[in-house]
Amino acid sequence: TNRTFTMIKPDGVENGHIGGILNMITEGGFRIVAMKLTQLTVADAKAFYAVHAERPFYGELVEFMTRGPIVAAILEKENAVEDFRTLIGATNPANAAEGTIRKKYATSMGENAVHGSDSDENAAIESAFHFAGREMF
């Protein structure tokens, strides 16, 4: 529907791209509903990426996602989930379209700067995990 959840991943924060990424998000027509600097625990990251538990890169992914702070945010726009997936671009930056966040800021398949929810259902689950109702505007 009209909301999605995003994280600026540890690489995006480490590399000084919080401002640049937020600028692309707002220029892309998304309104920031909630936002915070936080850090995933190992348990959080394992649960968040449980769908990939059997994949060879799972351990590396959990280590990466927990190694430093992230920016968690809820974004609002018509058709938010799909339009935000378009704005971030392909998982592998080599395949990311010109003008996408990953084209500009991702460094590899693993360290790809941003997350965007893949469904309305997951957007709601991920948003509720990070934010209380009174933190959403």
- Residues classed as catalytic: 115
* Pair of tokens at residue 83: 């339009």
Q: How far is the CB of 108 from ligand ATP (least distance, A)?
A: 8
Residue choice 82, 83, 118, 120 for contact with ligand ATP (CB under 6 A): 118
Residue choice 38, 57, 59, 97 for contact with ligand ATP (CB under 6 A): 57
71 vs 32: CA distance, rounded Å: 12
Nearer to ligand ATP, 99 or 132 (CB): 99
Q: Does 130 bind ligand ATP (CB under 6 A)?
A: no
Are 5 and 130 a contacting pair, CB within 8 Å? yes
51 vs 118: CA distance, rounded Å: 12
Residue choice 3, 5, 116, 123 for contact with ligand ATP (CB under 6 A): 116
Are 91 and 112 a contacting pair, CB within 8 Å? yes
* Total of residues contacting ligand ATP (CB under 6 A): 9
- Scanning 18-26, 30-38, 111-119, 128-136 for contacts with ligand ATP by CB under 6 A, the matching segment is 111-119
Q: What is the DSSP string of 2-39?
A: -EEEEEE-HHHHHTT-HHHHHHHHHHTTPEEEEEEEE-
Nearer to ligand ATP, 57 or 129 (CB): 57
Chain residues that interact with ligand ATP, rule: CB under 6 A: 57, 61, 91, 109-110, 112, 115-116, 118
